[in-house]
Structure 1
Amino acid sequence: MTVSTSFPEKGIAVVTVDFPPVNALPVTGWQDLADAVRAAGRDPRVRCVVLAAEGRGFNAGVDIKELQANGHSALIGANRGCFEAFAAVYECEVPVVAAVQGFCLGGGIGLAGNADAIVASDDASFGLPELDRGALGAATHLARLVPQHLMRALYYTSRTATAAELRAHGSVWKVVPRAELHGAALELAREIAAKDGRLLRLAKAAINGIDPVDVRRSYRFEQGFTFEAGLDGVADRVRDTFGKPSEGQVPR
């Protein structure tokens, strides 16, 4: 279980998440990811960061088993870890390209939604199953990927949108077969990294400065409701049913 950084080409850093089986990150994983992205952005040699993942999917959010085992302390840690990781992507001093394959759920939306650009495999799906997991949050970031009413419908139903659908909405740069994802992400990163490094950093700061929504403040507001759900017991009640068949549903 690791977060690693590599430098495949001049000007490009690739931060890779690998937490089998589904890249559902524990508290320490979120903090490690935040540290890795911030370090890559501070490196004067780096002009673009690619955020990638190994395994079946890009990210499945927080480790629910850790939450169930450690209660409120784990919830506080997960809230802080996600906040720091999402902020690290958004505030990275250079552009961040998210290379998304398979599922991009929960915390994955926070990461991809705060990236500067997204390249996705044709099997990628994006969504927030938070209401099915006894949680809230990351609507801030889903709203950066799809129009407002679609965001609300996806959020309330826990349904997902495909990479092709997000490309139609303009939030995904390119959709490619999974085998071509790494190369496509590097291709975009290479084009970005060819620009002047100092000017890129100024451009990133300028673009963040004109955003209509303060993503840090907005997401922190959402997290307050996540913690409220935890305090009053509704989160545990919903979370305890996670993975169990509902009435009339055949177990698989």
Structure 2
Amino acid sequence: MPVSTSVPDKGVAVVTVDYPPVNALPVQGWYDLADALLTAGRDPETRCVVLTAEGRGFNAGVDIKEMQRDTGHAALIGANRGCYTAFSAVYECEVPVVAAVGGFCLGGGIGLVGNADAIVASEDATFGLPELDRGALGAATHLARLVPQHLMRALYYTSRTATAAELHAHGSVWRVVPRAELHEAALELAREIARKDGTLLRFAKAAINGIDPVDVHRSYRFEQGFTFEANLSGLADRIRDDFGTQGTQGTQETPREGRA
């Protein structure tokens, strides 16, 4: 299944995304992911959720091909609402969410991990927002939760990526491990969290969200308004077409199939 949930240990639910080839999610995929996260968090037996993915990378954003097939704006609106819903689900999940990130984490992937409670990453993991190369804007709200303000701006304007080791140095990644050890490392942290009292963990999640200095829902929604402007004006299509012909970045680091 593209989005599945398993329970490998008592108190730990694992939500896995599998959309080959690069985990660029279609509109329905974002909603399915949101439902899986919220459902897992509502289960009174769950004390921690691990969010992970199969395949080459963790997430490559939305399925651009789905948007290109749409002659109107329904796919654009759906993708924006779907991303908003999925990012919010990570944040609003009643228990802590540990993101297990292997390979590339781009566009919408930043929205997911930026709202997670903790991140475990593989040594080959890279994080970035190639939005300006794709004619889009968004998820600066979430990148700002991973790196300092000026680094966020430089990464955003250049579409460059940061490594797992760099994010670990900034304190946003809990642990960096070889790719083969990623799953177990994420479960190890989840098990430690799950040993706490379930009710108190829910109180803790709500309390920490309540003292956040930035309202992630309002902030991200504000960003999305500029994505609509870029698309409605035709600017986004021109930039995507230019990028597709010029190939300004390598496909291994920034898969062309997706963006936020």
Whether TM-score is above 0.5 comes out as: yes
- For 1:26-105, list aligned pairs within 5 A: 26-70=26-70, 71-105=72-106
Map Cα deviations across residues 208-235 of structure 1 (whole Å, 9 max, x no partner): 0000000000000000001111110101
The question of 1:137 aligning with 2:135 is answered: no
SS at match of 2:49: strand
2:244 alignment partner in structure 1: 243
| Cα distance in 1 for residues equivalent to 2:187 and 2:243 | 37
What is the CA–CA distance in structure 2 between the aligned matches of 1:54 and 1:223, rounded to whole Å?
Answer: 28
Q: Write the distance in 1 (CA, Å) between the matches of 2:52 and 2:220.
A: 23
CA distance in 2, matches of 1:147, 1:31: 30
Q: Does 1:21 align with 2:21?
A: yes
242 and 63 in structure 1: CA distance in 2 versus 1, 3 angstrom threshold: farther
What does residue 255 of structure 2 align with?
Answer: none
Which residue identity lines up with residue 183 of structure 2 in the other structure? H
The match for 1:205 is 206
Distance between the aligned counterparts of 2:74 and 2:158, measured in 1?
A: 28
Counterpart-to-counterpart distance in 1, 2:25 and 2:146: 22
Q: Which residue number corresponds to residue 110 of structure 2?
A: 109
Code of the residue aligned with 1:53 in structure 2: it is A
SS in 2 for 1:16: strand
Q: Which SS does the other structure have where 1:240 is aligned?
A: helix
SS of the residue 1:243 aligns to: helix
Residue 157 (structure 1) aligned with residue 158 (structure 2): yes
Cα distance in 2 for residues equivalent to 1:240 and 1:32: 30
Aligned residue type for 2:199 = R
Q: How does 1:170-249 map to 2 (within 5 A)?
A: 170-245=171-246
Q: How far apart are residue 239 of structure 1 and its match? A: 1.4
- Mapped to 2, the partners of 1:246 and 1:216 lie a distance apart of 33
**Mean Cα displacement is larger for which, 163-172 or 234-243?**
234-243
Displacement, 1:244? 2.0
Aligned to 2:258: none
The list of structure 1 runs, each at least 4 consecutive aligned residues, that deviate by more than 3 angstroms after superposition, is none
Whichever residue aligns with residue 156 of structure 1, its letter is Y
Mark the runs of 5 or more structure 2 residues left unpaired by the alignment.
Answer: 250-260
Distance in 2 (CA, whole Å) between partners of 1:85 and 1:242 is 27
What's the counterpart of residue 10 of structure 1? 10
- The Cα shift of 1:246 comes to 5.7
How far apart are residue 243 of structure 1 and its match?
Answer: 3.0
CA distance in 1, matches of 2:174, 2:20: 27
Superposition TM-score, scaled by structure 2 size: 0.94
Determine which structure has greater relative contact order: mean sequence separation of CA pairs < 8 Å that are 6+ residues apart, divided by chain length.
2
The verdict on how the C-alpha distance between 1:108 and 1:246 changes in structure 2, with shifts beyond 3 A counting, is: closer
Percent identity over paired residues: 84
Q: Deviations over 1:68-88 (max 9, x none)?
A: 111411100000000000000
1:241 partner SS? helix
1:147 aligns with 2:148: yes
- What is the root-mean-square deviation in Å for CA atoms of aligned residues? 1.7
CA distance in 2, matches of 1:115, 1:230: 29
Q: 1:160 Cα shift?
A: 0.1
- Separation of aligned partners in 2, 1:234 and 1:162: 30
Matched residues in 2 for 1:107 and 1:61: separation? 4
